[in-house]
Chain A
Amino acid sequence: NAGVTQTPKFRVLKTGQSMTLLCAQDMNHEYMYWYRQDPGMGLRLIHYSVGEGTTAKGEVPDGYNVSRLKKQNFLLGLESAAPSQTSVYFCASSNEMNTEAFFGQGTRLTVV
């Protein structure tokens, strides 16, 4: 009964460091998404994927890369972290484009 699982839950990075956030879903969904959530703002789409091997840019893609090598996994990478990337990151999945999305529990990232 896992749904969407994100790892890690928390992370502190120094400016310039890199890291990868992992998202795994067990619902056989085709569509997966990465969002960031900042205080006072709505969730903003970073990148999304409409199926294994495909990715596309969302609203705020700069500074991030993604990969979808397996249907159940969607990875979000930060090559050179910046303080502006301090945020809470949510992964989500759905069975059709932007229908009911099931969210992970979030990753709180702080870049110092």
Chain B
Amino acid sequence: KNQVEQSPQSLIILEGKNCTLQCNYTVSPFSNLRWYKQDTGRGPVSLTIMTFSENTKSNGRYTATLDADTKQSSLHITASQLSDSASYICVVRERANDYKLSFGAGTTVTVRA
């Protein structure tokens, strides 16, 4: 069973609207959680990173939140643009086990005009 589960698997939103992506993880002990954006045909690019002591981190119109107690994170996209169409991947880094990374399967976001 994957230690990082993302939902929804995909979603479609209209340009200008907001959306929220979810990430639940079971990785423990936990070091940090990162959100990546992966455009079609490209490699993932880091958006935000949060340690276990941080609750929120923003990068422009992207805001990530973290609840380490419930092992949940969310990525909120504000005022979506066509360029936000991509896959968003949640990645959790363990504090032990050679800092192993566990990747979620991603949420595919499609923004339509």
Contacts and interface: CB of A to CB of B under 8 A. Distances in A.
Interface of A: 4, 40-45, 90, 92, 97-98, 100-101, 103-106
**What DSSP secondary structure best describes chain B's contact surface?**
mixed
A92 B44 CA distance: 10
A42 B104 contact: yes
Given A40-B105, A42-B89, A97 B99 contact: yes
Nearest to B101: A98
A25 to B, nearest CB: 12
B100 interface: yes
A100 B51 CA distance: 13
B99 A42 contact: no
Contacts of B42: 105-106
Given A4-B43, A105-B43, A106-B42, A98 B104 contact: no
Interface in B91-105: 93, 98-105
Contacts of A42: 2, 4, 89, 102-106
Given A100-B49, A105-B41, A106-B41, A43 B89 contact: yes
B99 A98 contact: yes
Given A90-B43, A92-B43, A97 B104 contact: no
5 contacts: A42-B105, A43-B103, A97-B98, A105-B43, A106-B43
Given A103-B43, A106-B41, A106-B42, 16 more contacts: A41-B2, A42-B2, A42-B89, A42-B102, A42-B103, A42-B104, A42-B105, A42-B106, A44-B103, A45-B101, A100-B34, A100-B49, A103-B44, A105-B41, A105-B42, A106-B43
